[in-house]
Structures are given as structure tokens and as C-alpha cells.
């Protein structure tokens, strides 16, 4: 069973700070330029704790992690941050717009008991890198807190917790924040015992799927093991045995997945179009009667929602193409749930088997991807459709992992809406 409990959150004090100036996007999408902007927004912006600056004179005794710990302690003393006296779940809603449609992502923040990934009720779906985990572990060791939540999903057609959230959002939010793109982030406490027990009961029988935050989950598990090794495990209910998660019901709708495109280097002795033609029907997008931006848009529209279809831009030819799987055997020795994913076909068939690609980078924005390819030593950009949410659930439940950056849940949760302190 999944153990999901309320906790005594640490929150920004809306009487002392502006939520919009104090919150930050997740660390993994914060560029150096954005970090500077966040530092300028407010002396109390959470970026100073969650993803602070390095200084040239840093050493073991003075570095961005020791500074993060000091900021956290100082802001609590100053009343900029306040710690709740009673345990709560925290309803979190994001109102946003995409492709002209207004949508809402809604869920709740709770503390989820940590277990080995895939061994029980908590299921990851993506592979991870080691470097981000090292950084996140240092934040835990110095701050003894989860500063940002893991974005997770569950499925409940009964919508018991969802009904509670629907009632809660009619009340005045405790704190609000605008992320700068017009998206409205709002937070409410859920402290009444009846609602808390109802949510706990529903979640006890649910599987939890990690949507975004695999590094943070694996780091929380490593931190837990470290605390055990140091003799701090007494009852199994110590706060470090849990990790803060945002839990959204898939059945509520409101979730959006976006693709992450790949900018690649291809060896000069490989003719990409010729090699790919064995498995894909390749069609050129003519730019004779349209601008490049229009051609790019036409390419993306042509592949939209078509299985095993990709967009391709070749820098030397300065040309866009569509690639549609022609029905040849994929010849991939993988489980069906992975074999049929576009992102797996891209990595395992196109990158590894056909083009032998060793270096590629990620980019969300199609325009930026092409610009980066032209300015760098890249030969091509591959454009993908987004992964369907039910396929994420299928892969995770089967205990398998997609390649990194297979999914991009949108919009991102803000860091700083709630902090989960262990001490």
C-alpha cells in the first residue's frame, strides 16, 4: 500500500513577501540568465536555497549549500517563512492556457513514504543522470528539507480526493504566485481531520507514478539510506522516511504533456536520408511558397498524433522533412510497452542502430532547436510528438524506464509553494 500522510509544511508568509517574487521554476529548467533574474526579483526568492550561485572563493565551509542552509534558517527567524503547527495536505492548483485552451492542473501535496523504485506502489518511468542527483543530495544534507515537490500521478475514477479539492478551491487561497507567463499558482491548506482521513484512505490502495522528479526521488532514497547508516532510524516514521510529492489524479484531466526535441551530431560518412529510408517514408517540406517558420509549422502539423512519425531538419540542406514509419519490422529487443514508443524508436532504432549517434542535446522549443543546431556543430534536429499519458502509466507499471526527457509535464510546479522540513 502507498503511505501518503499530511505534514507540517513550511510556507512563505504572504504578509511579508510577494508569492510571485518569491517562487521559482524547478532547478532543472533554470538557465544562468533566469537565475540572475530570480536573484533580482527578491532577496527572499527560493532560488537562493534550491539552486543558488557558486562563488569563485567557495570551499568546504562556505559554498552555495551552506548558504542555502543559512538562508533557510534566517528566513524562518525573520518570519519570512512560517512553519505550520498542525499537519496538513496542501491543495495546489495551476490555471494556465495552451494552444488557446484554458486548463487547470490540480492536485495535493503530501508526504509519501519512500520505497525502492518499482518494488511496491511507487513507479518511475524515466532513466536518470548522476550529476543532478549529487546536487540534490547536497541540498538535502545541508538543508534537511525537500525544497521542491516531486510531480506524481495516480488514477482514481471515484475521485474522492478530487471532490475534496474541488470544494477547497472555492475558498480564498493562502498564497498565490504568477510565474511570469500569466499562469496562476494557488495553494490552500487541508487541515480538517475528516478530509485528511478520507484522502489517506483513498491513496492507500493507489499506485503512484512519478511524472517529473525522478532525480529528487532517487536522491530522497539515498538520503534515507544515509540517515539509516548513521543510526537515525528508530521507528521508521522519522520525517526523512518520506518525500514531498504533488499528487494529481489522471482522471481529472488538466494534465498536458509536451515533447522534447533532439539536436544531434551525425558522422560525416553517414547519409542520414539514405539510411533512414529503409524504415521511413521521407517527404520534403517545400519552402518555395512559404517562410521557414511556416514550413516548420507545416512539418509539425503533418506528424501530429501519427504513430512513429518524426520531423527532421538537416542543417546542411536547410530543409525540413517528415518521416513516417513504413511498416518494416522494428527489430528491437524490447518489451512491447517500450518498443511502441516514439521516443524509444528514436533512441534505439534511429540513434543507436541506424545513425550511430553519440552526442545529442535536448530542446523544448522547435524554433530554438533549429537556431541552436545552426549555431553549433549539429547536423540535424529530430522533432517528436508528445508521449501519451496512458503510455507513461503502462511503462511505469510494468517496471520499465523510458529514455531521459521522454516526457515534459506542463506547466511545471513552482519551487517554494511548500517546503517539507525534516528537522
Which whole-number Å values give the CA distances from 248 to 19, 84, 111, 151, in the listed order? 22, 23, 14, 8
pLDDT band at 129 (very low <50, low <70, confident <90, very high): low
Q: Is 7 exposed, middle or buried (0-12, 13-18, 19+ CB in 10 A)?
A: buried
Question: Per residue in 27-75, pLDDT tens?
Answer: 988 999 999 999 999 999 999 999 999 999 999 999 999 999 999 999 9
Which cell goes with 44?
A: 527572499
Q: Which domains does the chain have, with CATH numbers?
A: 4-255+410-421 (no CATH), 260-385 (3.30.1760)
Q: Phi first, then psi: what are they for 304, rounded to 5°? A: -55, 125
Residue 307 pLDDT more than 70? yes
Distance CA 387, CA 17 (A): 38
Distance CA 17, CA 174 (A): 13
pLDDT band at 90 (very low <50, low <70, confident <90, very high): very high
pLDDT band at 130 (very low <50, low <70, confident <90, very high): low
292-303 and 366-375 are packed helices; what angle lies between their axes, rounded to 10 degrees?
120
Q: Is 291 exposed, middle or buried (0-12, 13-18, 19+ CB in 10 A)?
A: exposed
Contact assessment for residue 330 and residue 349, using Cβ atoms and an 8 Å cutoff: yes
Contact assessment for residue 190 and residue 168, using Cβ atoms and an 8 Å cutoff: yes
Which cell goes with 249?
A: 489524479
Q: Is 228 exposed, middle or buried (0-12, 13-18, 19+ CB in 10 A)?
A: middle
SS3 (DSSP) at 282 = strand
Distance CA 203, CA 221 (A): 20
Q: Calculate mean pLDDT across residues 108-137.
A: 83
Residue 212 pLDDT more than 70? yes
Residue 174 pLDDT more than 70? yes
Residue 213 pLDDT more than 80? yes
Which cell goes with 100?
A: 488557446
Q: Calculate mean pLDDT across residues 87-116.
A: 95
77 conformational bin, left if phi > 0, alpha if psi -120 to 50, beta if neither: alpha
DSSP 31: -
Lowest-pLDDT choice from 205-219, 289-303, 367-381: 205-219
Distance CA 91, CA 378 (A): 44
pLDDT band at 222 (very low <50, low <70, confident <90, very high): very high
Which cell goes with 159?
A: 475521485
Distance CA 396, CA 210 (A): 8
Q: Phi first, then psi: what are they for 73, rounded to 5°? A: -65, -45
For position 113, what pLDDT does the model report?
97
For position 377, what pLDDT does the model report?
86
The model's pTM is 0.90
Contact assessment for residue 125 and residue 407, using Cβ atoms and an 8 Å cutoff: yes
Which cell goes with 275?
A: 539510411
For position 330, what pLDDT does the model report?
67
Which cell goes with 375?
A: 549555431
Amino acid at each position: 500500500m502507498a503511505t501518503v500522510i499530511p505534514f507540517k509544511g513550511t510556507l512563505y508568509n504572504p504578509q511579508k513577501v510577494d508569492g510571485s517574487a518569491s517562487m521559482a521554476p524547478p532547478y532543472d529548467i533554470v538557465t544562468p540568465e533566469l537565475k540572475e533574474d530570480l536573484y533580482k526579483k527578491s532577496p527572499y526568492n527560493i532560488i537562493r536555497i534550491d539552486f543558488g550561485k557558486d562563488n569563485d572563493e567557495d570551499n568546504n565551509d562556505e559554498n552555495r549549500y551552506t548558504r542555502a542552509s543559512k538562508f533557510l534558517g534566517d528566513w524562518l527567524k525573520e518570519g519570512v517563512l512560517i512553519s505550520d503547527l498542525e499537519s496538513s495536505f496542501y491543495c495546489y492548483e495551476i490555471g494556465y492556457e495552451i494552444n488557446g485552451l484554458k486548463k487547470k492542473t490540480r492536485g495535493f501535496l503530501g508526504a509519501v513514504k519512500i520505497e525502492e523504485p518499482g518494488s511496491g506502489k511507487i513507479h518511475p518511468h524515466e532513466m536518470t543522470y548522476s550529476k543532478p542527483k549529487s546536487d540534490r543530495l547536497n541540498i538535502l544534507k545541508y538543508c534537511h528539507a525537500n525544497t521542491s515537490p516531486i510531480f506524481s500521478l495516480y488514477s482514481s475514477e471515484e475521485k474522492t480526493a478530487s471532490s475534496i479539492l474541488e470544494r477547497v478551491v472555492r475558498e480564498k487561497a493562502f498564497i498565490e504566485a504568477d510565474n511570469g507567463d500569466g499562469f496562476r499558482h494557488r495553494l490552500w491548506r487541508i487541515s480538517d481531520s475528516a478530509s485528511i482521513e478520507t484522502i489517506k484512505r483513498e491513496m492507500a490502495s493507489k499506485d503512484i507514478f512519478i511524472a517529473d522528479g525522478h532525480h529528487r526521488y532517487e536522491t530522497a532514497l539515498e538520503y534515507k539510506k544515509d540517515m539509516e547508516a548513521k543510526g537515525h532510524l528508530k521507528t521508521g516514521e522519522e520525517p526523512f522516511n518520506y518525500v514531498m510529492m504533488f499528487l494529481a489524479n489522471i482522471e481529472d484531466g488538466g494534465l498536458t504533456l509536451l515533447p522534447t526535441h533532439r539536436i544531434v551530431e551525425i558522422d560525416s560518412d553517414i547519409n542520414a536520408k539514405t539510411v533512414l529510408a529503409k524504415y521511413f517514408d521521407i517527404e520534403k517540406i517545400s519552402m518555395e511558397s512559404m517562410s521557414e517558420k511556416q514550413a516548420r509549422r507545416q512539418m509539425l502539423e503533418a506528424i501530429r498524433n501519427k504513430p512513429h512519425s518524426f520531423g527532421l531538419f538537416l542543417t546542411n540542406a536547410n530543409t525540413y522533412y517528415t518521416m513516417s514509419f513504413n511498416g518494416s519490422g522494428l527489430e528491437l529487443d524490447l518489451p512491447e510497452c517500450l518498443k511502441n514508443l516514439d521516443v524509444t524508436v528514436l533512441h534505439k532504432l534511429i540513434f543507436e542502430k541506424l545513425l550511430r549517434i553519440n552526442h545529442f542535446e535536448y530542446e523544448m522549443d522547435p524554433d530554438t532547436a533549429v537556431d541552436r543546431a545552426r549555431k553549433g556543430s549539429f547536423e540535424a534536429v529530430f522533432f517528436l510528438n508528445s508521449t501519451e499519458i496512458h503510455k507513461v502509466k503502462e511503462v511505469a507499471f510494468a517496471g520499465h524506464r523510458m529514455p531521459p526527457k521522454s516526457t515534459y509535464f506542463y506547466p511545471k510546479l513552482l519551487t517554494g509553494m511548500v517546503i517539507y522540513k525534516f528537522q
